[in-house]
Copies of this chain bind each other. A is one copy, B any other.
Amino acid sequence: MTYDESDIALSLEEVAALSRAALSRLGLAPAHVEAVTATVVAGERDGCASHGIYRLLVCADTLKSGKVARDAEPVVDDRAGGVVRVDARGGYAQLSFQRGLPLLVEKARRNGIAALAINDCVHFAALWPEIEAVTAEGLVALAFTPSHAWVAPAGGTRPLLGTNPVAFGWPRPGEHPFVFDFATSAVARGEIELHRRAGEPIPAGWGIDAEGRPTTDAAAALDGAMLTFGGHKGSALSVMVELIAGPLIGDLTSAESLALDAGAKASPIGGELVIAIDPAGFLGGEAAQHIARAEKLFDAIVGQGARLPSQRRFEARKRSLSEGVRVPRKLYDDVRALVD
């Protein structure tokens, strides 16, 4: 990590205070301020620049669009034995997740496997904070959410699918969990935006133009469609995310979310599905020894010079917890301007 002299050094407490001040000024109810701030701090702490205080600027734009219920009180619905639904009532997903988590954990422990559906929420950031909250309970976690229809299916020509992340977590005793959280699009949409601003071409395989032809022109890809990672396999996964975090839980597909947005360019609205699995549900008292056996797999990955998916993030976390973080002055000033 290289520091620009003009970077601003902040402790994580200062990041939290800045986030609280900005979100309060933007009119979010106190419970939402706390829930969203936890995500902002986690993003900045883990070196995920686009999910840290930068996200407060995105949030400000989305709030201006009038698409977020600032004081929505989530409604928890205890459904079938293994299912909990939380109606976010148009608010950010974070508070709904917090409210639904205890019941998800209880159901997973009782049944071995359980699902939490968050409905009618505004998506704020990545799924790994949710994943880590589940693995912290000793449970295995999966999470999915559609977004806006920016991505073409493999073999197609027009945007239909969201960037549709798939996230997974595995608890590791005494270690950070094994966690991945990736978009099923070839890259994040923001990455193509950055190339457009810089006037740089994008690599082949990221996008197609409005006529469905492969393009390396960033602006043409933004006007056309993004592509999925991994060809037809990534495309199939993306469709799965549409289905299981959309109609399965009674919520929007990415195409429906984008239609609802009606050009406001606000954050996607819709559902989120989190699945929690308790190893003890399969293995009873023998669970611990099998969880321990999984460590050999991680050792073998790292031992051959490969990285675990969230390794960089956990390294940044360690550094941030002792040294705080540094943010670009321009970004800091822009966020401060939300408060002043």
Contact = CB atoms under 8 A, between A and B. Distances in A.
Contact of A113 (B83, B85, B168, B300): B83
B113 A115 contact: yes
A156 B248 contact: no
Interface residues of A, number: 72
Interface stretch (A3-11, A305-313, A321-329): A305-313
A145 to B, nearest CB: 15
A165 to B, nearest CB: 10
A170 interface: yes
A110 B250 contact: no
B230 A233 contact: yes
Contact of A297 (B160, B249, B293): B160
Copies of this chain, complex-wide, total: 2
A230 B79 CA distance: 37
A168 B283 CA distance: 25
A234 B229 CA distance: 9
Contacts of A275: 113, 275
A243 B297 contact: yes
A260 interface: no
A195 to B, nearest CB: 19
A47 interface: no
Contacts of A111: 80-83, 111, 114
Interface string A255-294: 1000000000000000000010111111100100011011
Nearest to A304: B156
Q: Among A184, A242, A250, find the residue whose CB has the most chain B CB atoms closer than 10 A.
A: A250
B281 A242 contact: no
B283 A249 contact: yes
B236 A180 contact: yes
Given A79-B112, A83-B113, A83-B282, A243 B305 contact: no
A290 B156 contact: no
A140 interface: yes
A279 B248 contact: yes
Contact of A248 (B255, B282, B296, B309): B282
A275 B277 CA distance: 11
B115 A306 contact: no
Contacts of A306: 152-156, 235
A309 B232 contact: yes
Interface in A204-253: 229-237, 239-240, 242-244, 246-250, 253
A304 B153 contact: yes
Given A117-B282, A281-B83, A290 B230 contact: no
A126 B105 CA distance: 33
B114 A82 contact: yes
Given A168-B240, A283-B250, A294-B243, A112 B153 contact: no
A31 interface: no
Nearest to A114: B113
17 contacts: A81-B110, A82-B82, A82-B111, A83-B111, A113-B275, A152-B304, A160-B301, A170-B243, A229-B233, A232-B309, A235-B306, A236-B309, A243-B294, A247-B279, A247-B290, A249-B282, A249-B283
